[in-house]
Structure 1
Amino acid sequence: MTASISDTARGLLADSEKRLAAAREDNPEVWQSILEDARVAESLPRVWTCSEFVATSCLRSPALLADLTADGNLFSLAPDDWLAQEAEARVRGDAEADLMESLRRFRRRHMVRIAWRDIAGWATLDETLRDLSTLANVCIDLVCRRMYAALVARYGTPRGADSGEAQPLMILGMGKLGGGELNYSSDIDLILLYPEDGETDGARPIDNAEFFLRLGQKIVQQLATPTVDGFVYRVDLRLRPFGDSGRLALSFASFEHYLQQHGRDWERYAYVKARALTATEQFPSLYDEVLRPFVYRRYLDFSVFESLRDMKAMIAREVERRELKDNVKLGPGGIREIEFIVQAFQLIRGGSDRRLQGKELRVILPQLIGQRLLREDAVRDLEAAYAYLRVLENRLQQWNDEQTHQLPDDPIARERLAFAMNVGSWDELAAQTNAHRQRVERYFTQTVFGPQERTDGIASMESTFDLDVDAAERASMLVNCGVTDPEPINARLEELRNSTYYRRLDDTGRRRLRDLLARILRMLASDAAPTTTLARVLRIFEMIGGRTVYLALLTENAAALRRLVELCAHSQFLADQIAAQPLLLDELIDERFVEEAPSRAQFAADLASSRGRMQHEDPERQVEILRQFQSAAMFRVAVADLTAGLPLMKVSDRLTDIAELIVQETLSLAWAQITAKHGVPRYVDERGESHMAHMIVVAYGKLGGLELGYGSDLDLVFLHDSIGESQRTDGEQSVENTVFFQRLGQRLVHLLTVHTASGRLYEVDTRLRPGGNKGLLVQSVAAFREYEFQEAWTWEHQSLLRARAIAGDPQVCEQFEQARIEVLRNAVRRDGLKHEVRKMRERMRENLSKAREGQFDLKQDAGGVADLEFLVQYWMLEWADRYPEIVTFSDNIRQLESLGSGNLVPQSRVDFLVDTYRKYRQRMHRLALDGVKNVVDDAEFVAERRGVVEVWQEVMREAGDLR
């Protein structure tokens, strides 16, 4: 109880105590037994003061309270099965009138219990909402079964015309009942469905439509008819197809046809919370085949904001008409606005993330933080407001078991409500309520209407740009938008107007495009090359095609549109990325896009979010989700690279991070898929102990050397640690570990290279494994070590210098690293090493250079990257036996720095080679972004090339003419 209460509240408490005293005089023995429980005696004045319904129920029937107190049910949350069992025991009567009476008494008994626990502070909000929902479930299910049996006795069992199977009635609970969040005195929104048309099998058969119509009428009659004992629930069936004019009960086929042909946007919101209360075994297939495709789009559906604004406008008009400003459900900042915020994000992203397809608001709301849909402080405020308003809603309704959401005008009622909310006065309660509602209204406005776009003094300009006017009028409109040279832009807009893309747009798409053009053209007024930027933006629109939800995304989010225009102004490469992957537009919404440099930790968090989305998907969809993660991550790197000047080495680091994370994730997916069939691979060591075997992934080349580019493929080698004579999996379809690991490796390569709707993850090259294409795809660490010592060529040892274990069991990764260092120290044939390295380099230069006369191949020509890399590799192999620490790192720059710090190569030479290598890589990187080969004019890098050639000739001596 609150420490400070108003004088009015004290008077109300005194009135409750007087009523109790009078009741004790009339029936002392019963009340004496009730009040022996100290918890009841202490809480009774408060509960009766806050709920006239509870007080009247107890005064009229003290036995009700005595019974609840005696069996302890007053103090506990009702388990689902217990409540159902009690309903069967207490709700009796063969006649429908008798059933009505006992059902209403059952309902009153538990409504008293639930209100008492809530007001006394013995129940949490979640417990109260769950208790109320469970009670409704039990009552609906019981009435459905009783009335179904009565009709079957008269007409026979309804059976499907095709299947011949008995047909149940599926009752869908909607709204808060569907979400398991029913308020205290709520009506219940129901939809009645049955699987198949047909007829009953009795002596007086009727068709199924008639049977279920009568069943629905009986159920509504039992639940909603007022009697001297009240009613059970007010039943609202207006959410059914075609509302009041529609059939009371529909077959699944009719229901599906309605949603496909006539379903409206507001119904998508409603069906977010649809839950089967009866015939629950039939619901999963109905949900997967009918409801989920209707409610959740496979793409990001930002068009929901338009429908949400329309729905909110309708509610606002109703609030104004009925003067519902103080309505905690429908008024500004009320419960409905919180529900709209959550459901909007569910509809936008639920199709691509099934975790958002839940029905309970308090479960979904925190997930919006992880999806970067709402800030943490916004979710915290909305959670607090929702909990507060739901308690306030229940306190309003518990007073007299009335469906009201209106804050009272009467001074006494106000003080009573403040007391029920544990607040000292009405003024304090009003202040708290207003604070919560103002925060909700602010977040709702920001979410649904977006931040106000700055107009920079151009407030009078048109909100749309009509493409269909003649060229002269368009030119005038362009001038009004601030475009100084309208002719080239006008010509591009004329091309757009005559394009197939524009002709195929529906009315909604054209309206969105007109709105966007008006805003884009204003942004281009200060652009250095507005025609080029516009052309890039329009190409993206044309690639989007009829998927106008992406136009809705840009319409709804001014920041995303501004970022799109800025990126298109900056880079053709970035514009091409978005055109190829329109999902990247979603990345432009995230504030981190411009506020934070990309990091491995950020990518790991994003991948964890994607992992959650993959849990219930098939393997193909899992890879597609990974591909979407990869595209978004690489896009962020490219943006930071091209607009924020992210250093080249950091670019490679981040691209390497992305690849490593994806390889690790695909290895986990492949492992789960293969072990599900064959079990876990195990082996027995020489001591007779059983161990689980593991596979690791070793990266070579650019990935191993931390130098990955945007379009780089992956050079991968797979190794396992299984040894001994007993090597088999432990599943029902057991296979030898050798077979298991070959299939695991094949599966991993498949996941990395398979084409999805979003493209493939990577090209993968496994030819660097021992034995090349003739060798096993996956080999043991021991076999790898033996091959490297006995059979490997010098070029394979060169490749090993750039090898790193990037995925798999850490202990096996460490085994590989130890083997790598041992091979580089002791297996290299140093006699003739220089000759072998020189011969391989000459062969490459002859066969791989792409330069013509007057050109320089940055990688393959003399003095280029390959010469520099071969020099480093020669030095590393030559000295690894005496200085093993130099082979610790796998990237060229740190290898060079190790050679310098060990005084094996003069520091001045190291500095020159490092600087040259960075220059070469930077130039190659830009060429790759422009989509061209690593070839430049031979007037570039003259001093660098000469310096590398001089070092090569000095170190390799009789290397021949390297001009």
Structure 2
Amino acid sequence: MTTAISDTAQQLLARTEARLAAAREDNPEIWGPILEDKRVVESLPRVWTCSEFVATSCIRSPALLSDLIANGQLFERAPADWLAQEIEARVGAELGSDSEADLMEFLRRFRRRNMVRIAWRDIAGWATLDETLHDLSKLADVCIDLVYRRMYAALVARYGTPRGAESGEAQPMMILGMGKLGGGELNFSSDIDLILLYPEDGETDGARAIDNAEFFLRLGQKIVQQLATPTVEGFVYRVDLRLRPFGDSGRLALSFASFEHYLQQHGRDWERYAYVKARALTSTEQFPSLYDEVLRPFVYRRYLDFSVFESLRDMKAMIAREVERRELKDNIKLGPGGIREIEFIVQAFQLIRGGSDRRLQGKELRIILPQLVGQRLLREGAVQELQAAYEYLRVLENRLQQWNDEQTHQLPEDAEARQRLAFAMNVGSWDELVAITGAHRQRVERYFTQTVFGPAERTDGLGHAVETFDVDADATERARMLESCGVAESEAINARLEELRTSAYYRRLDETGRRRLRELLARILPMLSSTGVATATLARILRIFEMIGGRTVYLALLTENAAALRRLVELCARSQFLADQIAAQPLLLDELIDERFVEEAPSRAQFAIDLAASRGRMQQEDPERQVEILRQFQGAATFRVAVADLTAGLPLMKVSDRLTDIAELIVQEALSLAWAQITHKHGVPRYVDEQGESRTASMIVVAYGKLGGLELGYGSDLDLVFLHDSSGESQKTDGAQSVENTVFFQRLGQRLVHLLTVHTASGRLYEVDTRLRPSGNRGLLVQSLAAFREYEFHEAWTWEHQSLLRARAIAGDRRVCEQFEQARIDVLRKAVKREGLKDEVRKMRQRMRDNLSKARPGQVDLKQDAGGVADLEFLVQYWMLEWADRYPEIVTFSDNIRQLESLGSGNLVPQARVDFLVDTYRKYRQRLHRLALDGAKNVVGDTEFVEERRGVVEVWQEVMREAGDLR
């Protein structure tokens, strides 16, 4: 039975005081000055009580502690490069020969000195966990580097320099640090996992030449001997080389080519986890190319790789068996809810998404973990709890190991050791420590289970265990299986499954793909009955699978996430449009995982956050890949809007607002990319204004049509006009390849159009129409704001002024955007030819009716026929142009609804008429919207909207009659 911690702590501290008194009595001349420092006196009892290693080291060598105090190294945080400088200084001062035995003893003294320093600062509370882990890792780095350089030089003196057979260049050894050393998060008494590589085979150039393989084998052996051989001073590090290709049976050191061949031909899933942490400790200048060409393609896939969960479950099961066999339940690293499970969670998400987002390719867990919130992979609360658990368990791990410099993760059974550990962790009793530790581990285990095991539960959603559906069974056996699943429309579904069995898609699947497909069908088929459209739903789902093709990781995604699979079935049951979207862009399956997908309505603010995340991914990519990432953002954002539209009843106006938001954000981002690319080549465009000041010229993007009028739909084109503000003298860029600003802006506009329209693997961003610019296709693609104003005042047609009513500046310098808006209002007030305006509007409308209607007998083109959308829009535009000179406030807005409402509020159009037109316009748009979702034309039966069309025609005839005062 344990005693109260306060009593035990007093006993432990009293024992420490007695040891200190004895040491002081034995050697008063050195201990006296040490104990004059108040910081040492206050911290020593706690540090020695918590670490026998520190206490013994200081008693055996008080000069070690005295030196740390004198140099201030015990109290101050070490700069990043301090240890490298420290080891070099001490080599020069203490290592008098090139003897390997002397090097061994020096390294062990150096390690002990710094381990005392690190442990003291940690236990005393003078160092953060991150500082402690990084300090421990840096200590290992500098020791390994010193050994490598010394042993390499010794072997070169004997055999000559190893040189590449092809390049003839001197060959270094690249030592890869793996595990916590690779991540810069080494624990106090950890062994170090290393992999030894060299660039090329060849031989040494000395008198006693040996081939490179033999040279680096001997070098590796000497490095291990120096670090791991026990002496009277102990060892430096236990070295584990079992992560190397083929493990203990593999060669100690491999050439880059052999290493690459191994990973390509024999690399296993667990090695992908291991190489997430790989970091070059030596020959660092060659690591980037090895990483880009060999390691990254092996570890990270360019697509979302949910197959990692299968291998992770296998690894966890193997560890669980080992834990049970060795009775490691109280092991805070390998046991349930331990450090390893947190690492697995983070590394799993890194492997799944790191290929498409390089920000997740980092090595430090405590940096990567918070990013999982921004990527919508874990909720913020989960990340916070995992962060807290990781920090607590890593501190507990260090406290366990600092006691006697032993590699242990097992909670102690001895009563005194338990009380000492509780004291070291600043808790009142062992029972309290057990409760805190248990709470952290339970949370970790819960998140691990949810992440890795929970989503893969094999049920049909009704509680029935389901394993697989044999597609290859004959029709009779399939019919029996379908009946047992309670599938509706079983005959039609059986026929569809027969088509699947004989399809080219199914024949091309490998065994893994077929297994995943069988598992998915076993879960999908029982869900179909509740849809009411079982056969159509299955056909849409199988179409998606066929478009996925051999990329069976997407099947793994659905296998691993029951919620995503359920949402896929629901969406395919509701909408052919949504199914087509997923088939065209399988990456959208990833959207189905996020719980917020159905919980939160899409918003511009969230889209901006998502785009910022995409921007982070684009920073290190080439221009083609940047556009692909933008396209992925657009696809995901549009898909979310469509889902909210079709399943949650998002109002039409909100749908258009969100689609407009997406387009504006993309145009702004594309303009930023285009600007960066063109200025990188030509420099920034500059001009001298009227006051003689040099200014930077800017380009803005003006949206017309549906985008300008905030009425964007799915698949709408973008009508864009580009304007710049360059004027005055000396209009040139300031780069090495300087060009006139006119040339710069033409290239900038062309680049922007290219980015928006270029085809990527998942399609293009938008169709772009630039014909609404001054003089249409005959005019410059990018014109000055001054030239635009001049054209609109003196050359523009009435239809161009009609278009200007729906124009908005959506991207570029805010000052120039404001100048455009003022120019727009000025044009609409002062430049419109109001004499004959009615005739011009009527004639243009008649040409559209004659040429654009798509209706057949018994049908009505809801946009172009009499009483349709175009009539309504032309009415609004006529009123706006007619009265803009006297009532300029009516042209403030660019969308039809608010334009109509402003006409009513100004008593320019009777409110009852405004209300009728607004209501009719909304009805028309809603119907056209649904037609677009179904992939249909703008045509309805002539029995639809009879009253509405008649009412619009009556207003048209009254307003647009050839004579009479409209007011």
TM-score (norm 2): 0.97
Offset at residue 484 of structure 1 (A): 4.3
Q: Is the 8 A contact 2:220 2:253 kept in 1?
A: yes
Partner residue in 1 for 2:386:
382
Please say if 1:320 is aligned against 2:359: no
The aligned amino acid for 1:55 is A
Q: Is the 8 A contact 1:104 1:232 kept in 2?
A: yes
Partner residue in 2 for 1:741:
745
Please say if 1:223 is aligned against 2:227: yes
Q: Measure the CA separation in 2 of the matches of 1:460 and 1:602.
A: 38
Please say if 1:437 is aligned against 2:435: no
Offset at residue 616 of structure 1 (A): 1.0
**2:175 match: secondary structure:** strand
Offset at residue 293 of structure 1 (A): 0.6
- Deviation string 1:573-598 (CA, Å, 9 cap, x unpaired) is 11111111111100101111111111
Q: Is the 8 A contact 2:460 2:527 kept in 1?
A: no
Larger mean CA deviation between 648-657 and 672-681 belongs to 672-681
Offset at residue 154 of structure 1 (A): 0.5
- Deviation string 1:814-837 (CA, Å, 9 cap, x unpaired) is 111000000000000111111111
The aligned amino acid for 1:316 is A
Partner residue in 2 for 1:20:
20
Please say if 1:606 is aligned against 2:590: no
Pair 1:78–1:282, CA change in 2 (3 A): same
Pair 1:487–1:204, CA change in 2 (3 A): same
Offset at residue 349 of structure 1 (A): 0.5
Offset at residue 478 of structure 1 (A): 1.2
Offset at residue 907 of structure 1 (A): 1.6
Q: Measure the CA separation in 1 of the matches of 2:463 and 2:889.
A: 67
Please say if 1:60 is aligned against 2:60: yes
Q: Measure the CA separation in 2 of the matches of 1:833 and 1:484.
A: 63
Please say if 1:143 is aligned against 2:147: yes
Q: Measure the CA separation in 2 of the matches of 1:89 and 1:594.
A: 62
**2:703 match: secondary structure:** strand
Offset at residue 90 of structure 1 (A): 2.4
Q: Measure the CA separation in 2 of the matches of 1:957 and 1:81.
A: 86
Q: Measure the CA separation in 2 of the matches of 1:83 and 1:462.
A: 58
Partner residue in 2 for 1:654:
658
The unaligned stretches of length 5 or more in structure 1 are none
Partner residue in 1 for 2:236:
232
Pair 1:269–1:865, CA change in 2 (3 A): same
Equivalent of residue 262 in structure 1, options 262, 266, 279: 266
Q: Measure the CA separation in 2 of the matches of 1:887 and 1:804.
A: 11
Partner residue in 1 for 2:516:
512
Equivalent of residue 936 in structure 2, options 925, 928, 932: 932
Q: Measure the CA separation in 2 of the matches of 1:42 and 1:748.
A: 66
Partner residue in 1 for 2:670:
666
Larger mean CA deviation between 700-709 and 901-910 belongs to 901-910
Partner residue in 1 for 2:480:
476
Q: Measure the CA separation in 1 of the matches of 2:849 and 2:226.
A: 90
Offset at residue 495 of structure 1 (A): 1.4
The aligned amino acid for 1:79 is P
The aligned amino acid for 1:87 is I
Offset at residue 693 of structure 1 (A): 1.6
Partner residue in 2 for 1:30:
30
- Deviation string 1:266-306 (CA, Å, 9 cap, x unpaired) is 00000000000000000000000110111000000001111
**1:74 match: secondary structure:** coil
Equivalent of residue 112 in structure 2, options 98, 108, 113: 108
The aligned amino acid for 1:576 is D
Offset at residue 108 of structure 1 (A): 0.7
Partner residue in 2 for 1:799:
803
Please say if 1:210 is aligned against 2:201: no
Q: Measure the CA separation in 1 of the matches of 2:530 and 2:723.
A: 57
Counting only pairs closer than 5 Å after superposition, residues 903-914 of structure 1 correspond to structure 2 as 903-914=907-918
Q: Is the 8 A contact 1:461 1:481 kept in 2?
A: no
Offset at residue 643 of structure 1 (A): 1.5
The aligned amino acid for 1:225 is T
Counting only pairs closer than 5 Å after superposition, residues 361-510 of structure 1 correspond to structure 2 as 361-451=365-455, 458-510=462-514
**1:73 match: secondary structure:** coil
Q: Measure the CA separation in 1 of the matches of 2:464 and 2:773.
A: 67
Q: Measure the CA separation in 1 of the matches of 2:915 and 2:742.
A: 47
Q: Is the 8 A contact 1:481 1:525 kept in 2?
A: no
Partner residue in 2 for 1:339:
343
Equivalent of residue 246 in structure 2, options 242, 245, 250: 242
Q: Is the 8 A contact 1:159 1:198 kept in 2?
A: yes
The aligned amino acid for 2:549 is G
Q: Is the 8 A contact 1:671 1:744 kept in 2?
A: yes
Q: Is the 8 A contact 2:488 2:534 kept in 1?
A: no
Partner residue in 2 for 1:709:
713
Larger mean CA deviation between 646-655 and 207-216 belongs to 646-655
Counting only pairs closer than 5 Å after superposition, residues 912-923 of structure 1 correspond to structure 2 as 912-923=916-927
Offset at residue 937 of structure 1 (A): 2.2
Equivalent of residue 848 in structure 1, options 844, 852, 857: 852
Offset at residue 74 of structure 1 (A): 1.3
Partner residue in 2 for 1:41:
41
Q: Measure the CA separation in 2 of the matches of 1:586 and 1:353.
A: 14
Q: Is the 8 A contact 2:152 2:219 kept in 1?
A: yes
Q: Is the 8 A contact 2:272 2:298 kept in 1?
A: yes
Please say if 1:724 is aligned against 2:725: no
Pair 1:514–1:237, CA change in 2 (3 A): same
Q: Measure the CA separation in 1 of the matches of 2:128 and 2:80.
A: 17
Please say if 1:618 is aligned against 2:622: yes
Counting only pairs closer than 5 Å after superposition, residues 753-832 of structure 1 correspond to structure 2 as 753-832=757-836
Q: Is the 8 A contact 2:721 2:782 kept in 1?
A: yes
Q: Is the 8 A contact 1:365 1:383 kept in 2?
A: yes
The aligned amino acid for 1:766 is T
**2:530 match: secondary structure:** coil
- Deviation string 1:207-252 (CA, Å, 9 cap, x unpaired) is 1111100000000000001111100000000000000011100111
Q: Measure the CA separation in 2 of the matches of 1:63 and 1:908.
A: 96
- Deviation string 1:452-489 (CA, Å, 9 cap, x unpaired) is 86958954543211112222222121121122442211
Counting only pairs closer than 5 Å after superposition, residues 630-645 of structure 1 correspond to structure 2 as 630-645=634-649
TM-score (norm 1): 0.98
Give the aligned length: 956
**1:386 match: secondary structure:** helix
Q: Measure the CA separation in 1 of the matches of 2:538 and 2:205.
A: 69
Q: Measure the CA separation in 2 of the matches of 1:880 and 1:67.
A: 86
Offset at residue 953 of structure 1 (A): 1.7
Larger mean CA deviation between 772-781 and 175-184 belongs to 772-781
The aligned amino acid for 1:28 is P
Q: Measure the CA separation in 1 of the matches of 2:76 and 2:835.
A: 85
Q: Is the 8 A contact 1:130 1:180 kept in 2?
A: yes
- Deviation string 1:828-852 (CA, Å, 9 cap, x unpaired) is 0111111111111112222222222
Larger mean CA deviation between 142-151 and 17-26 belongs to 17-26
Partner residue in 2 for 1:187:
191
Partner residue in 2 for 1:166:
170
- Deviation string 1:22-65 (CA, Å, 9 cap, x unpaired) is 11111100001111111112111111111111111111111111
Offset at residue 603 of structure 1 (A): 1.0
Please say if 1:302 is aligned against 2:306: yes
Q: Measure the CA separation in 1 of the matches of 2:952 and 2:428.
A: 84
Counting only pairs closer than 5 Å after superposition, residues 854-865 of structure 1 correspond to structure 2 as 854-865=858-869
Q: Identical aligned pairs, as a percentage?
A: 88
CA RMSD of aligned residues (A): 1.4
- Deviation string 1:627-660 (CA, Å, 9 cap, x unpaired) is 0010011111111111122111111111111101
Larger mean CA deviation between 227-236 and 537-546 belongs to 537-546
Q: Measure the CA separation in 2 of the matches of 1:452 and 1:151.
A: 54
Q: Measure the CA separation in 2 of the matches of 1:944 and 1:50.
A: 85
Partner residue in 1 for 2:181:
177
Q: Measure the CA separation in 2 of the matches of 1:201 and 1:851.
A: 86
**1:726 match: secondary structure:** strand
Q: Measure the CA separation in 1 of the matches of 2:456 and 2:770.
A: 53
Q: Measure the CA separation in 2 of the matches of 1:461 and 1:129.
A: 46
Partner residue in 1 for 2:549:
545
